[in-house]
Structure 1
Amino acid sequence: MNALTLPDIAAQASRQALPLDWVGMCGIALPVVIDGQRTSALADAGVSLDDGEARGIHMSRLYLALEMLEQQNLDPALLRQVLQRFLDSHDGLAQQAYLRIHLDLLLKRPALVSPLAGWKRYPLSIEAQLKNGMFHVELKIDVPYSSTCPCSAALSRQLIQQQFIDDFANQALQHSAVLAWLGSTQGIVATPHSQRSHAELRLRLDSFIDELPLIAVINDAENSLGTAVQTAVKRADEQAFALANGQNLMFCEDAARRLNLALRRSPGINAFALRVVHAESLHAHDAVAESRWNWEA
């Protein structure tokens, strides 16, 4: 019995000659190596279909090219190699290649005071493009933090002042009595409201950068805000966290400005767009601020 040649439908001519901007696959499961650690990720891989006469691309070739990501540390050079393989395997069909990698970056973060430490999750996307010989890499990083409302803090202080007047009116003040009052719920009658917040950072990297500045960017962002959420804590850490929130009262506008200034100083970044979201505890809606630098949509 003669072997039959398997049909290649994708190689047939299209009935409607029309180029396409992006063709590929989304949600491909694969392992990647970040800073020497292997982690699971999802990848979106695609190319442009510039030959409008062609019916389709060779998706299996994109899939096989992703094997390069399994063993080598993820950096701009490796991303470019993968994109170039996308194009080489579609010579005559595609002039542009795209790769998006979605993963959770796990970093072990120390407590503020105690020797404890724990793992914190940072949702991360890495987008790479090779278009007409130009290579671009963008990062999307979500950084959680805590925010305490300055207005609520001021109103709480005013209530405490009024309670102090009511409790000590026409009395000779004694140090021990005032100290006890300050440590009681009778004296501290109000506290400011805080909320878990997060910063959505979208960063465009310099073309000459050798490494992905993931940890450096996260550290710069958290240091600028001063109220990074914690993992494992003892009471001393919780107290230090309360102090950090009290010393870093901020509206969403304040947080956006802090991040803007910090990211401008971060090496390897030539443009960014950021969005901060404060999940209000007073209101049922969120407070949001956005800021850009050198960013063109």
Structure 2
Amino acid sequence: MTQLKLPDIAAQNLDHSQPLDWVGMCGIALPIAFEGRTAAAKIDAGVSLVDGSSRGIHMSRLYLALESLEQVPLTPVALRRLMADFLTSHEGLSSASYIRLRFEHLLKRSALVSPLAGWKSYEVEVNARIENEMFHVELSVSVPYSSTCPCSAALARQLIQQQFQATFTAEHVDREAVLRWLGTAEGIVATPHSQRSLAKIQVRLRSNQATLPITELIDQVETSLGTAVQTAVKRADEQAFALANGQNLMFCEDAARRLHETLKQAPWSSAFKVRVEHAESLHAHDAVATSQWGWEVRCEA
């Protein structure tokens, strides 16, 4: 029996030419290695289709090229080679290549005071592209933290002052009596409201950056804010956390400004975007602030 040649529908020409900006695949599962560990990633990979007369691209070539990420650690160099391979396998069809990786980064975090420790998961996204013969890598992380409202703290302090005046009416007060009073619910009649908050950071890495500073970026964000959410805690840790919140009162605007100044000092950052979200415990809506540096200004939803 004669072996028939398999038809290649993608190679057929079209009656109407139309280039396409992006053609590829989304949600590809792949293990990736970075910082000495392995993570399960979801990957979007694609190329432009500048030859509008071609029916389509070669999806299988993109898929097979992704296998290179299983062999080497995830670095800007590895991504650049992969992007170049995408274009080489689509010579004459494509002029730009793109990839997006999404995965969870697990870090073991120590408690503030006690010897306890626990795992925290951070959402990470890496975007790379070759476009107009230029290579770019962008790193994004989401970092949860706690925020205590400065206005609420001031109002709570005023109520405590008023309660003190109502309780201690004499001109001279007993120090021990005041100390005991401060340790009662009657003494601290009001507390400021706090909320779990989220910092979303997107950084464009410098062209000579050799590694992906994922953990370093997360550490810098948490250090800048001072109120990273905790894992396993004892009462001493909870007390230390309350102290950290009291010493880091911040509106969403304050948090965004802190992060802006921190990221401007990062040696591997050529541009960044910051978005902080405070899931208000007072309101039924969130408070949000954004900032950017080195990025072209655009209106975003």
Q: Same fold (TM over 0.5)?
A: yes
Residue type at the aligned position of 1:259: L
Q: Tell me the residue number matched to 1:135.
A: 135
Residue type at the aligned position of 1:145: Y
- Secondary structure of 1:259's counterpart equals helix
- Secondary structure of 1:92's counterpart equals coil
Provide, for residues 237-263 of structure 1, a one-character-per-residue CA deviation record: whole Å limited to 9, x for no partner.
Answer: 111100000000000000000000000
Q: Tell me the residue number matched to 2:55.
A: 55
Superposed counterparts of 1:38-49, under 5 Å: 38-49=38-49
Q: How big is the shift at 1:132?
A: 2.9
Superposed counterparts of 1:31-180, under 5 Å: 31-170=31-170, 172-180=172-180
Give unpaired runs (5+ residues) of structure 2: none
Residue type at the aligned position of 1:150: P
Q: Distance in 1 between matches of 2:148 and 2:38?
A: 37
- Secondary structure of 2:63's counterpart equals helix
Range that drifts further, 171-180 or 13-22: 171-180
Q: How big is the shift at 1:70?
A: 1.2
2:300 is aligned with 1:275: no
TM-score using structure 1 length: 0.98
Q: Distance in 2 between matches of 1:188 and 1:256?
A: 31
Q: Tell me the residue number matched to 1:10.
A: 10
Residue type at the aligned position of 1:30: L
Q: Distance in 2 between matches of 1:37 and 1:109?
A: 16
- Secondary structure of 2:179's counterpart equals helix
Q: How big is the shift at 1:175?
A: 1.8
Provide, for residues 117-141 of structure 1, a one-character-per-residue CA deviation record: whole Å limited to 9, x for no partner.
Answer: 1111111110000113210000111
Provide, for residues 136-186 of structure 1, a one-character-per-residue CA deviation record: whole Å limited to 9, x for no partner.
Answer: 000111111000000000000000000001111126411221111111101
Provide, for residues 100-119 of structure 1, a one-character-per-residue CA deviation record: whole Å limited to 9, x for no partner.
Answer: 00011111111111111111
Q: How big is the shift at 1:289?
A: 0.5
TM-score using structure 2 length: 0.97
- Secondary structure of 2:165's counterpart equals helix
Q: How big is the shift at 1:221?
A: 0.9
Residue type at the aligned position of 1:27: G
- Secondary structure of 1:14's counterpart equals coil
2:191 is aligned with 1:187: no
Q: Which runs of 4+ in 1 moved over 3 A?
A: none
Residue type at the aligned position of 1:100: R
Give unpaired runs (5+ residues) of structure 1: none
Q: Tell me the residue number matched to 1:286.
A: 286
Q: Tell me the residue number matched to 1:213.
A: 213
Q: Distance in 1 between matches of 2:293 and 2:88?
A: 35
Provide, for residues 169-208 of structure 1, a one-character-per-residue CA deviation record: whole Å limited to 9, x for no partner.
Answer: 1264112211111111010000000000001111111001
- Secondary structure of 2:229's counterpart equals coil
Residue type at the aligned position of 2:199: A
What is the percentage of aligned positions where both structures have the same residue?
63
Q: Distance in 1 between matches of 2:17 and 2:208?
A: 38
Residue type at the aligned position of 1:32: I
> How many matched pairs?
297
Q: Distance in 1 between matches of 2:156 and 2:217?
A: 34
2:183 is aligned with 1:200: no
Q: Distance in 1 between matches of 2:137 and 2:14?
A: 33
